[in-house]
Amino acid sequence: MARQYDAVIVLGMNIRKTKAGYRPTTYQDHDGYGMLAGEMNVIAATLLYTQKQTGTFVFSTGTSEKTKAMFGPDVPSEARVYSQDFLRRISGSAQPMPQIILEDRSANTYSNLTECIAIINEHRWRHVAIMSARYHIPRVTMLWQLVTGKYPCQAAADFLVAEDVIQQHIPHIYDELIDIAYRSPQGVKRLASEAHGLQDMKDGRYVATEFQFVQPSIG
């Protein structure tokens, strides 16, 4: 039986602008740190919904200064874009619609977690899942340990790798895409960037606020 959660928290990984509007980033998108993977988080969320592992999804990430610089001051929050893409993907389902909560105050991973802890404690949840891409989860996990030392959280948290969720529930369909993405130059760059961030945390050099403001190159 699939594990049940009071809520699944889906972290944002930037957005892209298309002719149809704003969408989560795909493996073909990148910023100054390498490959992005927002769409995988949404696909995985739809599978957790289909498997009835939760009735509540929290979409987390607001609007960063980098995003405003790229798309203008009226750009929607990542939380809104990701939740809309999620709802589009599950439209027509016979299952009851899940509760959607938007956490649109945060601008980076550290503030994702601090803002989500406030939501967790407000709702008195006891067991949640925090989901992001494979390259991101190691840093999320380490940051959670740092954040909860300062901001206590009443819930136990599992950390779900979006690609693992996808490969578990719909095996073989995305395997080649995932493998190619992580072996690509931008994928390798992202893994190196994440490893650098982990080392900074271990060395006490990690910057918790939005930093290194550079113009990303989405697409």
Residue at 183 is within a domain: yes
Place of tokens 């938007």: 102
How is residue 97 written in tokens? 């619609």
Residue at 214 is within a domain: no
Residue at 215 is within a domain: no
- Domain extent, residue 109, equals 7-202
The amino acid that residue 204 corresponds to is G
pLDDT reported for residue 1: 61
Here the CATH number for the domain that contains residue 122 is: 3.40.50.620
Q: Alpha helix locations (H) across 26-174? A: 38-50, 65-71, 78-90, 109-123, 137-150, 162-169
Residue at 93 is within a domain: yes
Annotate 162-179 with b (16+ C-beta within 10 A) or e (fewer).
Answer: bbebbbebeeeebeeebe
pLDDT confidence bin for 101, thresholds 50/70/90? very high
- Report yes or no: 61 and 103 within 8 Å, Cβ to Cβ: yes
Sign of the CA dihedral 145, 146, 149, 154? negative
pLDDT tens by residue, 144-197: 999 999 999 999 999 999 999 999 999 999 999 999 999 999 999 999 999 999
pLDDT reported for residue 204: 83
Q: 10: part of which helix (H) or strand (E)?
A: strand 7-11
Domains of the chain: total: 1
Residue at 78 is within a domain: yes
192/156 Cα distance (integer angstroms): 29
* pLDDT value at 215 more than 80: no
Residue at 126 is within a domain: yes
pLDDT reported for residue 218: 38
Neighbours of 110 (CB within 10 A): 20
Residue at 150 is within a domain: yes
pLDDT tens by residue, 49-99: 999 999 999 999 999 888 999 999 999 999 999 999 999 999 999 999 999
Residue at 213 is within a domain: no
* pLDDT value at 10 more than 70: yes
pLDDT reported for residue 209: 64
Strand, helix or coil for residue 181? helix
* pLDDT value at 143 more than 90: yes
